[in-house]
Amino acid sequence: MEVEVKDDDKNKRWMLDCIHADFDDQRRREQWSLSQRVAGRRADGWVVLGDLKDLLLPDDKEGDVVKM
């Protein structure tokens, strides 16, 4: 989902992208590739939020084998 947010008081706009990353590794890589292409076209502010299905640190993982 992509939303344009306008701040009329400051005459600014920025984009909000909400992502729910796929569990499939290949599809998730395709999603990241698309996000990188979109990032290159952003002239205004940009916020990405969502469930990215990624870990910052191996210690964040509980359960199965860590895939890093």
Q: Where are the domains of the chain?
A: 2-60
| pLDDT > 90 in the chain, percent | 21
| Mean pLDDT, residues 39-50 taken together | 86
Mean pLDDT over 52-66 rounds to: 75
Q: What pLDDT, on the 0 to 100 scale, is given for residue 30?
A: 92
Q: What mean pLDDT is reported for the chain?
A: 85
Q: CA 30 to CA 66: how far, in whole Å?
A: 21
Q: Which residues contact 35 (CB under 8 A, 6 or more apart)?
A: 17, 19, 48
